[in-house]
Chain A
């Protein structure tokens, strides 16, 4: 397996960008997805570019109102960050139920976003926080809203010559609630069957902003914008929440696989959206 490709270990970001600009390559971050695909020979790259030496890509920074996670920040780093419960409660929820300890120590935020899996657990929370990612190539830098990043199943807007260097979001507004529910076939180390992240911001009993990001119920993680629209600007009655949950369900297009049927995913995405919205409202009002 190891002899079949060239392994590059750039010491500088520029060097890494130059390598991926020239030849097709797979970027290796924590390797918790990539190694599995290499071992199964689903991928047979000629070049693998390891980000291991690029320590500047790892870390959690707070700059005024903005929180930035370097792409190589690990799941364990998120769990070790004392302020994460304030910065991104939903992200903490996701990190707490992410894989097992070994994978949490290796797996990174950048890898989770870049693998473009509909079941990537950090993505619904980040989307519910209106996160934005930074894509860098040897030609320059651009920022993309996470909710615009994914195109279709395992397809995204990233060019082969680009790398994700960070993801960032604005601190939660006052009077906000943010949470994530991971539904899986068991608690520890399981792939998500239905993932729901919700952010509500209230002004009195009126909802000013609603974010609903859904995982594993469509080809990509996505925002249930129809549901969000129903809530924004309104007083959140039980009926309204029920209607929003139905909308979230209507916008979902899950598949059936060995983990669960499409019907079950639809059933639970409705129930969980309803539950998370109700809990958020009850906490704030």
Chain B
């Protein structure tokens, strides 16, 4: 068991609420006295992941486990899945429609940012079934 487990349901229909889970996690980690640098890495990686769940996958579930040596984030959705993960990981690659770009996202930088700010990241995805993203930030 981890020191602390947090679970959030992410509403896939409400773009204005996207990021609420990440914001709540950030607040909890701060109250635990986790170093600010680590919190920022978790917050940004999680936020990009949460946005992706909303704009690409109709929402899902976020689990965050806090351990003495690391923070583990699991983002699970039952969306359309990612056909070519390698391609999706490239900076600038995006299938987001223009309306998402007008909202400030869809520049194809989300997955690269998640990779950049996490110390370890894995993506499991099956087209038509869904996507699970695991990320770890070491403390």
Q: Do A and B come from one complex?
A: no
